[in-house]
Amino acid sequence: MNILGYGLHIRQARRDAYKAQDRLDTAHMCGSATWITTGSKAEGLTSYLESDRDSIFVRHDVISLEEGVDSRSVPEETNIFRSCSRISYPGHCRLLLERKGTNICNTLTIALCDDGNGRGLLSSDLYVNQWLNDKPPEDTVLHARAGPSTPDTVRGFAHEDIVDAIYFYCPSILTRWAARHRNWPSPDVVQEIVSLGAFVTPVGVKGSDYEHVEWRICFNTGENSLINNLNDTQDGTAMLVLIIENRLNLGTTDVITQALRRHDYGRG
């Protein structure tokens, strides 16, 4: 595994490097947002230029709350949206404005529309398109939208997929997941995943009547934790499948890790 670049200490070094990069990028935001690396980079499965870097950009001035959650403890400066999943597909929701914070950014203002009943509804299409309308740095080329992400290429060789996400506080969803009977992962890992929370990302179900205002519920940081806490058998099997995929040039590097995530999160 070490010779092939998939040894445990090699993968851990990659994870540590991207965590350090996330801390540096977050520090540059001066408290306004957090950067999180996800996907194969966060799992230590690919080197720097081996594949795109998947990143989540999470704003601190806005939060989405699950239905039934008390919003009174949320700071006044934070914009609050309430999730509504009654007419959305599983794993998706709409975001209704519950309270404007003391400062609402242009991205949120432009993405707000009327739900037909006088309430503010956050459009996922308008939200993600704000990134595409921004002028990138001179060394960066923006590409067409891909789902919730805005891909770009920096300095001609570094490819990124960036998702502008909103933190989603959903204690009942995570509590139900944590209460499932399981042999893996361990209770400590389960509690860690619950503490990491969830996000909503700006993409709806293709073909849905409400696609332009639907948001996908994601557990990216929890999924990273799952993959990073595989037992020896799971880890060895995952690496063998990954090596076979790469040797056959199937272009499906994330298949095995996606299967493991969905197995425990109940997706797919």
Residue 268: pLDDT band with limits 50, 70, 90: very low
Mean pLDDT to the nearest integer, 213-227? 93
Q: How far is CA 144 from CA 132, 157, 202, 247, in A?
A: 8, 17, 15, 30
**HSE-CB of 224 using CA atoms within 13 angstroms:** 25
CA distance 43 to 229: 10
Burial category of 210 from C-beta neighbours within 10 Å (exposed 0-12, middle 13-18, buried 19 and up): middle
Q: What is the largest CA-CA distance in the chain?
A: 61
Kindly report the average pLDDT of the chain as a whole number: 88
- pLDDT tens-place string over residues 202-215: 999 999 999 999 99
Q: Please give the average per-residue pLDDT across 75-102, as a whole number.
A: 94
Predicted confidence at residue 13, as pLDDT, reads 94
- Beta strand pairing status for 53-65 and 79-84? parallel
The percent of residues in the chain predicted with pLDDT above 90, rounded, is 65
| CA distances (Å), origin 5, targets 14, 42, 86, 143, 226 | 11, 15, 46, 30, 21
Q: Please check the confidence at residue 74 and state whether its pLDDT lies above 80.
A: yes
Per-residue model confidence (pLDDT) at position 29: 96
Give the pLDDT of residue 60.
96
Q: What is the pLDDT of residue 248?
A: 64
pLDDT digits (tens, 9 = 90+) for 224-252: 898 888 888 888 787 777 777 666 665 55
Q: Which residues contact 131 (CB under 8 A, 6 or more apart)?
A: 150, 162, 164
Q: Tell me which amino acid residue 198 is.
A: A
Q: What is the mean pLDDT of residues 134-145?
A: 90
**Mean pLDDT of the region 48-65:** 93
